[in-house]
Structure 1
Amino acid sequence: MLGGAPGTRTATGYGRAMSSVEIPGVRLAVQAFDAVLDAAARTPVTQVPGWPWPARPTRARLVVSIIWAVLASGLTASAVAELIAGRMLSSILGTVIGVAQSLPLLLAVRRPLVAWRIMVLGQFAGVLASYPHDPIWPWPVGGCLAMIVVLFQVAASYPRRAVVGVGLLTAVFMLLPAVPLGDTPPWLVLILCGAEALVLVLGDAILGRRTAEARLAEQAELRRQDLARQAVLEERSRIARELHDVVAHHMSMIAIQAEAAPLKIQDLPPAAQATLAAIRGAAREALAETRRVVGLLRNGDELPERVPQPGLARLDELVEAGRVSGLAVESAVVGMPRPLEVGVDLSAFRIVQEALSNAARYAPGARVSVLVRYGRDSLRVSVTDNGCEVPLVAQAGGGHGLVGMRERVAMLGGTLSAGPSEDGGFAVIADLPCGGSAAVGWPGPGVPGR
């Protein structure tokens, strides 16, 4: 037992070493056999649409179908006529072989592999029936042309291993039998095999290009989706940082008022003092948590905002900035301006600011109309321009302004519509629910109309 264990291990290791040594040509033969099986039976015929069948149902499909029907009919008639008149075959046998060699071209538009399987058998039958009458060239011209087209379609539609099997079987059943059966020179068969390989390589190259283009398009779409998600996250982070000042202001006011109440009101009951102390502690804790969360949203080198958040009271500044950038901006306020919630006021300001920025970027020199309409329970902000006479190409890195607008409107539960207008320009219309709530620290009277 003790002596047998090492011997067993040695024999196992020797067997593995022998198995790792490949007999010359065996692996190549196995791969060729697998390729032949793939071409003959294993490859699904519906794996990919055949070339040049259009991917989408359009008029091009009808055109391709008509062209293919005419081509298949012409090549079939040529093959049948050559077999009957030139090779002296009977009408029935010549028709059957000619149809098998060329008419499956109709199937090749959608099922190239099925068409090839039928045609290669027809070519083999044609060689067997034609070599007594034409021992040097036993292939009808129409059938040869149809086979070339189908070989190209197969190579441009199926995996490479199946294409290799198709090439091997075509050579074995169509080309090589002409040497022992007839008087076809071997050099001519070699030339034909080289031409067959050239057709398959060309089709495979086209398939590779189509595959690469599809992958690039997929990667571009994934990148576009990633950029859109990144823009949404960045805009949400920006909104959170902006609203932090608003929340911090309110929470600070609550804490200060709760702390000052016992000093302003004498002889407060102990229960009231305890309640105010609880309010003060909760406000300070909420303020600390808010600052901590917003701190996570900031970059390492980004400092907190120290400037008060803007609102529609600064609409004149936006209009003037738009005019400086080359736009002809007109603004109007409809309805009675009133204090708004700080979030609504800030979002309205940012929407107008971003819309004017987009107009300056994509429609320089355009006439822009800014309209702020105060409704009973909503605020409508619209920015429309008449477009640019010379179309501009969108600049790289842009295209996310609408993302920010939509995020702000969605945060407030409003609606946003943005798109081309009837006069060829662009319109941005946002409806923000305001409910008539007053904002703390409204900077002044309403913006006058223009």
Structure 2
Amino acid sequence: MYATMTLPQLKRVPPGAWTAFTWLVVTIYPTLLVGRDGATAWFTSIAMGGHSATHRDWNMVTAAALVALAGSALLTRRPLAGLALLIIASVGVTNGWSAGSQFPPLQFLSADIALLVITATRPRRTAHIAAAMLIGVLVGHVGMVPRTDTTDAQGAVLLAVIAWLIGRSMHQSREHAEQLGAQAAARAVTAERLRIARELHDMVAHTMGIVALQAGAARRVIDTQPARARGALGEIETASRETLSGLRRMLGALRQPEDGSDAEPALMEPGPGLANVDRLASTTTAAGVRVDVRWSGEQRALPPEIDMSAFRIIQEAVTNVVRHADATACQVSIDCQESELTIEVLDRGHRHPHGRTAGSGFGLVGMRERVDLLHGEFSAGPLPEGGFRVAARLPVPEGVR
């Protein structure tokens, strides 16, 4: 079954719940601290000379609470409207526009949280409007109070600026993470496309080379040696069926994740490995190019990716001999050492005028990519005395030595 990601408990709480909770705590706490006189008595005790709040203050606090809850509910769908309501509720409950009154910085904490959320999650234009709304109200209040009483108002402005800076930093971090994720996804898609291209090339190119040789042999002897022609056609049929089966497995694996179900994806059968080299040699020899396989070192189990890559390199090198070299034989050397696997394919033929040269062609590119992915070494090129050489060294991890 595919794993389903679940968010941490705190991240599942919507932003509006946090702003509502913060506003209620900041408003109710003074009420519990001061007593039944109400929150406004505590907020405006300095401005009112210590007089207790009237019953009308409770109505104001109740109305402001309803406005704040409405703003919190709108914060996700209409963030600017929600922030505006939170600002109105905070201004109303503090009776802040009275001459000489103060804006308690904590009363605007819910609006600060809303500004942080908007800046972190919304486009830059929306974040700038939200910052201008809240900071503009607070800065305007700084100019309305006596200079000797601006400490709390300036503290409220400072908290709002800090909230905007934190939200901006979170927004930039999220954009950077999304960019890195997109780049990683693009690299993964490119790597998978290259892997599929290599598999298709190695699978189809070898088969088509064998089919071409066997078909040519059958055409030449079909009248004089019918039995040999039938054998060549049988080899063509076998190679074609095996390749078709491999293509079906690959296509089945590619189509599996697209069904959208939670069912366990079908596993591809293990790919060919060095155990298939002798069969590759016999098939190629039957097609007219003798392949001499020489083993050295200890033959042992290798990691699947090394085993399959080694076989594909040998297969592609032999295919190039069949298709591009005027050679009747080639030599495959496989050296299995404790820390590395060395492969060498030699032929003494002459390349066609338009054949592959060192570093050209999809086959050589695919072999080099396979070796690079395994952090090995690869070389391919003509020999001074004639012929062509392909060599690869694949390191073997310590865990399988």
Q: TM-score range by the shorter chain?
A: 0.3 to 0.5
Higher relative contact order (CA 8 A, sep 6+): 1
TM-score by length of 1: 0.42
TM-score by length of 2: 0.47
